[in-house]
Amino acid sequence: MEKGIWGFTILIVCSLASRTEGLGMDQNRQILGFRGNAGDALDDDPVGRLKVFVYELPSKYNVDLVKRDPRCLTHMFAAEIFMHRFLLSSPVRTLDSEEADWFYVPVYPTCDLTKDGLPLPFRSPRMMRSAIQLIASEWPHWNKTEGADHFFVVPHDFGACFHYQEETAVERGILPLLRRATLVQTFGQKNHVCLKEGSIVIPPYASPQRMHAHLLPPDIPRSIFIYFRGLLHDGMNDPEGCYYARGARASLWLNFKNNPIFDISTEHPSTYYEDMQRSIFCLCPLGWAPWSPRLVEAVVFGCIPVVIADDIVLPFADTIPWTDIAVFVAEKDIVRLDTILTSMPTEIILRKQRLLANPLIKLAVSFPQPSRPGDAFHQILNGLARKLPHGSSVYLQPGQKVLNWTAGSVEDTYPWEK
Amino acid sequence: MKQSAVQQSNRRAYPRSSAGDGGGVAAPADGSVFKSPGVIFWPAFHVLCCLVSAAAGFRFSRLLFLLLFSPLAPSSSSSSFPRQHLRLPLVRQQPATALPSLLPPPAVLPPPPPPNSKSLASSRVVVGRHGIRVRPWPHPDPAEVARAHEILARVQQEQRLQYGVKDPRPILVVTPTYARTFQALHLTGLLHSLMLVPHPLTWLVVEAGGLSNETSAILSSSLVPVLQLPFREQMPVVWSDRHRLEARMRLYALRVIRERRLDGIVLFADDSNVHTMELFDEIQKVEWMGAVSVGILAHSAAPETPSRKQQREGDKENSHLPIQGPACNSSGHLIGWHTFNSLPYAKKAAIFVGEGVIVLPSKLEWSGFVINSRLLWKEAEGKPNWVRDLDDVGINGEEIESPLDLLKDATLVEPLGNCGKKVMLWWLRAEARYDSKFPTRWVIDPRLEIIVPAKRTPWPEAPPDLMFQQMADDEEHTREHVSKKSKSSRSKNSYRKKKKREANVNTQVSDLSIADVK
């Protein structure tokens, strides 16, 4: 009995010792990879795991829009154009629609820009509707599933809600015709109407050539603690200041404009990219929408992103370990942002920087041309591949109709003139 | 970036039909809707109210609500407007809207939309109007600022570890010096530069004229280990002789390194030169002997003379900084040397130390070379055979002008700093006259406490024993008056005054005799 107790305690002590020793070794080791499985999925290769059929739509839906306004190639919504180009020459593309797992509809709904370069979303629903009517009438695949095995790239502010203002977008909801399709979008917020179950959240487009042109050698010492450049008050659309960014950006300014460790302003310096490479933390607060290219730029330049957007869903959240890389601050904690960031243990900051230095992550959030294995295009395909094989609810009985083609606002049913 | 930022700023500039109430539906009402009069009424009312707001210049709906609804409990009104969420301010909000923010939020004038069942119940984040949180004391906390700087230092250290020089070799800095007026200026600058170097360092200071208190005083505050080597000869007054003596002093230091088998990279840092920190990282790359480019600041000490102005116009084409250093061909191999062209200045160069004209450097300055100390040892592993033995150098009156004389084959020197394209140190010589005096260790002892009034001040001639009292009383006045005149005139006057008063003035007034001043 006594011997049993002794043996038991010795066993417990040994197991504890081995565990702590393991932890200690873990910490001492240079952690360049990730714990767990999250990081491994980054270099999955989608080729061979899925087949995508690209519909051949008339050029008025895609190519002509870009010809008319080439600014679409450089703004933050350009992912829809580059995804199309990528798929056209990708090995996952199949020309035989019968063997395809996924169908891609190449429309560029965001390529309708104002004089200032802002996308107008008012005709986008009509364009979508027109495109879907076309594919439903010319190919049999839409009617088989009512779009459940089709995917669309909708990188606009609130995805397929097609509006830039959140209240209106929420009212409209996701376009009824797209309710069964898989949406590849930049917008992501938990429990939000405009983020459908099964959507793939992708990073916004930031020009890789431009970013690489401003790359500095990594031994330039990081001398800025917290960095932010961008709008802090939207005087034109929100003169009071209580709507834009849910008051978060205005709060940042009022609390920290005099703080020497914060370098925040609304200026547009030409050294914006270089300054990010000289900073430890880059703030990524929400604006009118919770996402912005700032996150991508911070990741590429090795600056720890400080995400201030409640309930945001970050791109490729199932493969990129955002909690290990970024810092999340609740909007109600903005007033304590300086305390939060300065009280972070140095080891954690260094660890985040080491993880950010991983080239796989930088590649996963960028859209390089030509495409490289592991980049955002491939992550999108991986996401689609993970949803295979399609469940039984995807396929409908012949003649069965689930979607309501007359639902939604009346303006959306008007013909798209072009 | 500009574009996208501008985009963000302007993005909803366009179809804002309502001037006042934000949050309203802004989609352009294209296509009139003729459903029922009730549906027309609300938009029309909305338009009317907008026009009134535009005319009045503020959102009069807030005023209405203030007057009509303030006695009501806020909960009842807020329940009928569930979409608009109000966070009561912790301290304050935007000052312009302080009043309305305390009210239940004004509804948009079209009827309140039905409680939005579409916005899911479990979402914590609510769309609509939010307060702007400002904490009661939005100023930096110094402890946090200090902590942030600690983090910055640690991150930079980590960057150096990861991307900087790995396994840095110790550096042996050889500096010839001697005690003179400008020594404190130059040596302190060099001292601080060396203290900033992140690599292990040993400083060999060779002093002409033996060890002196001056040099020891300056070097006593050094945090890097210093080896003071006395050199028996005195520093000559003629520049050319001085360059030769400095070369001998450096050779002496090299011999010490050889005797003691000190390990590291030898850098020749003259006390008046200026070095960048990148230099110390760059020299870590040297294998046996390397050369860097030196910027020559020959004009530094010279005042602006008419001849110099002409000269400046003359060499407008060569207005670049003259640089001494390795010259490479396109494939990065050493093919020659850039040296200083001293012909234009031949007649105007300084001969004596401290003359107010330009000082010329020698053809190739020692400071542009770095040597691996193992090259100097008697025996070292892998020591190349194109180097002369140090014992054979400099004997029998041989003049060593540059470290190239230590080699048998000068073509094997490695060019550093991107093949000499990057200038990481500057040569300059700025000296006072060789016979100029300065206070010992720059301490004026005893201190200048007593200010003897000059003749021009309005102080009356006071008897000596009352002088202190008067000065103690009128100390502020004295300072004010004194500051009006230039310092030199005051010192001159006081000196003259003192000479005059020497007979009258009490011994309490300490005499700042010239004898004490070196």
Q: Mind listing the pLDDT tens digit for each residue in B35-92?
A: 567 678 888 988 888 888 888 777 666 677 667 765 544 433 333 333 333 333 333 3
Q: Which residues contact residue B405 at a Cβ distance below 8 angstroms, ignoring those fewer than 6 apart?
A: B393, B398
**Best of B2, B4, B145 to mutate (most A CBs within 10 Å, chain A):** B4
Pairing of strands B265-268, B369-372: antiparallel
pTM of the model: 0.67
pLDDT for the residue B104: 40
Residue pair B173/B201 in contact by the 8 Å Cβ criterion: yes
Separation between Cα atoms, residue B343 and residue A170, nearest integer Å:
81
ipTM of model over 0.90: no
Nearest C-alpha of chain B: how many angstroms from A289? 10
B503 pLDDT band (50/70/90 cuts)?
very low
Separation between Cα atoms, residue A286 and residue A330, nearest integer Å:
11
Separation between Cα atoms, residue B153 and residue B168, nearest integer Å:
19
Percent of chain A with pLDDT over 90: 72
In chain B, what residues touch A292 (CB-CB under 8 Å)? 8
Residue A391 has pLDDT above 90, yes or no: no
Rounded to 5 degrees, what are φ and ψ at B495? -65, -45
A54 pLDDT band (50/70/90 cuts)?
very high
Instruction: Taking the CA atoms of B69, B75, B80 and B86 in sequence, report the sign of the dihedral they define.
Output: positive
3-state secondary structure of A185: strand
Separation between Cα atoms, residue B196 and residue A221, nearest integer Å:
15
- CB-nearest to B155 from A292, A341, A350 is A350
pLDDT for the residue B246: 93
Of chain B residues 93-132, which have a CB less than 8 A from chain A? 93-94, 96-97, 101, 113, 116, 118-120, 122-125, 127-132
- CB-nearest to A255 from B113, B120, B138 is B138
Cα atoms in the Cβ-side hemisphere of radius 13 Å centred on B365: 27
pLDDT for the residue B27: 40
Separation between Cα atoms, residue B163 and residue A128, nearest integer Å:
50
Of chain B residues 153-212, which have a CB less than 8 A from chain A? 154-156, 158-160, 162-164
In chain B, what residues touch A163 (CB-CB under 8 Å)? 27
Each residue's pLDDT tens digit, A138-174: 999 998 899 899 999 999 999 999 998 898 999 999 9
Residue pair B373/B289 in contact by the 8 Å Cβ criterion: no
Whether A267 and chain B come into contact, CB under 8 Å, resolves to no
A122/B152 Cβ within 8 A: no
Residue pair B301/B359 in contact by the 8 Å Cβ criterion: yes
Exposure string over B280-315, b if 16+ CB within 10 A, otherwise e:
bbbbbebebbbbbbbbbbbbebbeeeeeeeebeeee
Rounded to 5 degrees, what are φ and ψ at A189? -150, 135
pLDDT for the residue B35: 52
In chain A, what residues touch B139 (CB-CB under 8 Å)? 258-259
Burial class of B212 by CB neighbour count within 10 A (0 to 12, 13 to 18, 19+): middle
In chain B, what residues touch A349 (CB-CB under 8 Å)? 151, 154-155
Q: Which residues contact residue A180 at a Cβ distance below 8 angstroms, ignoring those fewer than 6 apart?
A: A145, A146, A147, A148, A402, A403
Q: Which residues contact residue B93 at a Cβ distance below 8 angstroms, ignoring those fewer than 6 apart?
A: A242, B101, B131, B132, B134
B35 token code pair: 């459903």
3-state secondary structure of A184: strand
Each residue's pLDDT tens digit, A310-336: 999 999 999 999 999 999 999 999 999
Q: How many whole angstroms from its chain centre is CA A268? A: 24
Nearest chain B residue (CA) to A210: B1
In chain B, what residues touch A332 (CB-CB under 8 Å)? 133
- Report chain A's mean pLDDT, rounded to a whole number: 88
pLDDT for the residue A17: 53
Whether A260 and chain B come into contact, CB under 8 Å, resolves to yes
Residue pair A174/A198 in contact by the 8 Å Cβ criterion: no
Percent of chain B with pLDDT over 70: 63
Of A239-248, A249-258, B3-12, which range is least confident?
B3-12
Q: In what order do the strands lie in the sheet with A102-104?
A: A52-54, A102-104, A150-154, A182-185, A200-201
Pairing of strands A262-265, A224-229: parallel
B474 pLDDT band (50/70/90 cuts)?
low
Which amino acid is located at B108 in the chain? V
Mean pLDDT across the stretch A245-252? Answer: 93
